[in-house]
Structure 1
Amino acid sequence: MTQVTGNTETTPLPSWIVLTDSGAVITLKHPVELNSVKVNKVNMRAPCVRDTRAAAAAANGSAEAHELHLFCSLIEAGKDDLDRMTQRDYRRLQEGYFRLVEEDEL
């Protein structure tokens, strides 16, 4: 039998994510060009319902396209910019996004 304890500690943030009042700053492993500027940090704003709805409408049912549209909106970059990211850095964006939308008091 497994006993469930009342451990409510949240997983600590990785050193490459800094949460702010308006979003997250994500440090990339490899610099990338966003909007014709080479950066090693990305500012991701917290999503609102409008962002999610617009991404869903543009994605036409594709979960992958939905996420790409949403991330482009939240970091104010184009799809081609995201396509040039390493998979590792894209995963950092995903982690940053999930940190922004998770409920911190559950």
Structure 2
Amino acid sequence: MTDLKKLPAWLVVTADSATVTLSRPSEINSVVVDRLTLRSPTVREVRAANATAGGDDEAREMHLFASLSESGIKDLEGLKLTDYQRLQAAYFRLVQDDGV
């Protein structure tokens, strides 16, 4: 495994999900959690997020992450920026096709 493929300690990726350990506990769906899991998206979910966002890339991403993590958008907006960036990194690792 090369250094580029090495995962950070805060990230666990499987074929079906990516789990991010948050830098500090946050409230999600009225529960304080120390990690969030994004499940692998379907084409339907990506299309729905695109349709909902009306061309706004940030809104599309937020809707998609809320759906994949079964979280509210307001809860994701309340994350520390570092933790949101971890979710972004996890998502891109999750949808990356290593066989290509």
Q: In the TM superposition, what is the alpha-carbon distance from 1:20 to its structure 2 partner?
A: 2.4
- Aligned equivalent of 2:54: 60
1:51 aligned partner, one-letter code:
E
Give matches, 1:2-41, under 5 Å. Answer: 9=2, 10-41=4-35
How many residue pairs get aligned? The number is 99
Runs of 4+ aligned residues of structure 1 deviating over 2 Å after TM superposition are 8-11
Two-structure CA RMSD over aligned residues (Å): 1.3
C-alpha distance in 1 between matches for 2:15 and 2:97: 14
**Conservation of the 8 A alpha-carbon contact between 2:41 and 2:68:** yes
C-alpha distance in 2 between matches for 1:19 and 1:11: 11
Instruction: Give the counterpart of 2:67 among 69, 73, 79.
Output: 73
Q: Which is bigger in relative contact order (C-alpha 8 A, separation at least 6)?
A: 2
C-alpha distance in 1 between matches for 2:84 and 2:65: 10
Larger Rg: 1
C-alpha distance in 1 between matches for 2:15 and 2:64: 19
C-alpha distance in 1 between matches for 2:47 and 2:12: 26
Instruction: Give the counterpart of 2:94 among 89, 100, 104.
Output: 100
Q: In the TM superposition, what is the alpha-carbon distance from 1:63 to its structure 2 partner?
A: 0.4
